[in-house]
Amino acid sequence: MNKWKNWLLGSSLMTLMLFLSGCVRLDSNGNPDTSGIIYRVLVHPMGQAITYLVENFNWSYGWAVIFMTVIVRIIILPLGISQSKKTMIQSEKMQALKPQVEAAQQKLKSATTREEQLAAQTEIQQVYRENGLSMTGGIGCLPLLIQMPIFSALYFTARYTEGIRESSFYGIDLGNPSLVLVAIAGVAYLLQGYISTIGIPEEQKKTMRTMLIISPAMIVFMSISAPAGVTLYWVVGGIFSCLQTFITNVIMKPKLKAQVAEELKQNPPKQVVTPRKDVTPVRQESSKKQVQEPKKTNGRNAGKQQKRK
């Protein structure tokens, strides 16, 4: 059940990313529609900022793309860290509810009627509701809806800003694909995925492995035929994602775990579902009786046979 939820969540996020990446409409020639709201509000100002840096500070377009990507990432960094913090707190609290959830799921598996199934499902919902948690782990859509148009605008800025295609960056032609930058981008996002698994239980790592492979694979797939100026944006984004994940998962997470543990110690989770501990011993005793009874019968039959002889 959890695997299906993780797969559905991952698929939904990928679909959302692809949908929001289309916020900038293209005309029949493949050029961006300058009348679109995302282009006018985000892409055009970012392109002008890159051009300003090149013309007034004698920067290369490569350094201007890097600078703009870092600035935008820093601006939305608090939002990303805040969302990660909420998700980690929810995850730690859900671990405390795991025994109750597993007990309710066991009832659901052993249910023989529709009424028993509905009752078990209701218990699962009550476990989360009584303890003030969301069954989705606290993952909200608003941070994604805010970030993805910005990332999409950065992508189109790096792809369509005039001057980038005709420039080079340390010998790399930004107007043509670069396998070197593609490899660096893939490694960066692969490293970011690895950092995100630090301190996570093995069972959760298994459910994350597919997404950890898909993310770098998609970046490589999109970058291998894209101009190097776009791939440079992916490289900077991947490196920045590594730093952000390191901050949240390595530096913040141990402190949050200790904080949640202390909070749960002072305010233990509400007991909604109690596992039945009397089921296993009864079954064991009944099985012992079934094993012992044939022995007694065999003993009596053997005595009768000896008397007849």
Q: For residue 18, is pLDDT > 50?
A: no
**163 contacts 65 by C-beta, under 8 angstroms:** no
252 secondary structure, DSSP code: I
User: What's residue 142's pLDDT?
Assistant: 58
- The structure tokens listed for 36 are 């679109």
pLDDT at res. 96? 84
Q: Tens digit of pLDDT for each residue in 156-186? A: 888 888 888 889 999 999 999 999 999 999 9
Contact 244, 77 (CB under 8 A): yes
Average pLDDT over residues 141-148: 64
**What is the mean predicted confidence (pLDDT) over 266-282?**
65
The answer to whether the beta carbons of residues 193 and 215 sit under 8 Å apart is yes
The yes-or-no verdict on residue 83 having pLDDT over 70 is yes
309/260 Cα distance (integer angstroms): 77
| C-alpha to C-alpha distance for 251 and 232, rounded to whole angstroms | 28
- pLDDT at site 116: 82
pLDDT, residue 290, reads 45
Reported as a single tens digit per residue, the pLDDT across 25-60 is 666 666 776 777 778 888 889 999 999 999 999 899
Is residue 262 predicted with pLDDT exceeding 80? yes
- Average model confidence (pLDDT) for the chain? 77
Report yes or no: 224 and 182 within 8 Å, Cβ to Cβ.
Answer: yes
Rounded to an integer, what distance in angstroms lies between the CA atom of residue 41 and that of residue 281? 68
Model-wide pTM > 0.75 = no
DSSP letters, 283-294, are HHHHHHHHHHHH
d(CA 124, CA 93): 15
Question: Cα(253)–Cα(199) distance, rounded to whole angstroms?
Answer: 8
Cα distance between residue 153 and residue 50, in whole Å: 13
